[in-house]
A = this chain, B = another copy of it.
Amino acid sequence: MPRRADPERIAQKREQIAVEAGRLFAAQGYDRTSVAEVAKAVGTSPASVFYYFEDKASLFRAVFERDLPAAEALIARHVEAPDPVTAILDVLDALARDAADPSASGMLIELLRRAGDDPELLAVVGRTANVLREGLAALISRGITEGAIDPDLDATETAAWLQAIVDATYLNARPGHSPHIELHRTVLGYLNPPQGRQEEPNG
């Protein structure tokens, strides 16, 4: 016996549809997943899905709206850490954690693809990306101050580049292969002050 207009129940159903849609979008892609399939997976009709979501695009966006609080929590957990370089590695590890999962890889690809067509989606993921970039940039700045990171690096540019490298680990995902070792070596090699890589500036 469904209570009438129960807002909690509505939110629950929305969530359920979004989760099921996310699964299908990741596995098959956006265009190749019909709203009818999503409805079937959740045990309802297409019309019902359109009751909870304005259109198919907003259904896709819902999957990524869940990422923002997670990103904020991740940064909050590490921004005050004693060693900034270790904190950067921990954040990147967390971001790359799902890289081995092929469906996560598929979802990133769909995201990159749809972001060009849907400005609202771009705004949603842009907010999440900004939180991560600013958090990483703060850690990088602190690492520079403490002498652990090359002062010639621009904190924000470097943060963006590290994010791109994490994304690349998703695109290069192979089952049973964890990107952590390569990721750590890459990041440390990039951030380190240029000892050994170049000669002393003024002999």
Contact = CB atoms under 8 A, between A and B. Distances in A.
Interface of A: 29, 31-32, 106, 109-110, 112-113, 116-117, 157, 160-161, 163-165, 167-169, 171-172, 182, 185-186, 188-190, 192, 195-197
Contacts of A31: 31-32
Given A112-B171, A167-B168, A171-B112, A29 B185 contact: no
Contact of A168 (B109, B110, B164, B195): B164
A163 B161 CA distance: 15
Nearest to A195: B196
A81 to B, nearest CB: 21
Nearest to A102: B116
Given A109-B113, A164-B172, 11 more contacts: A31-B32, A109-B112, A112-B171, A113-B113, A160-B172, A164-B168, A164-B169, A165-B165, A168-B168, A182-B190, A188-B197
Which of A163, A171, A186 gathers most chain B CB within 10 Å?
A171
A79 to B, nearest CB: 23
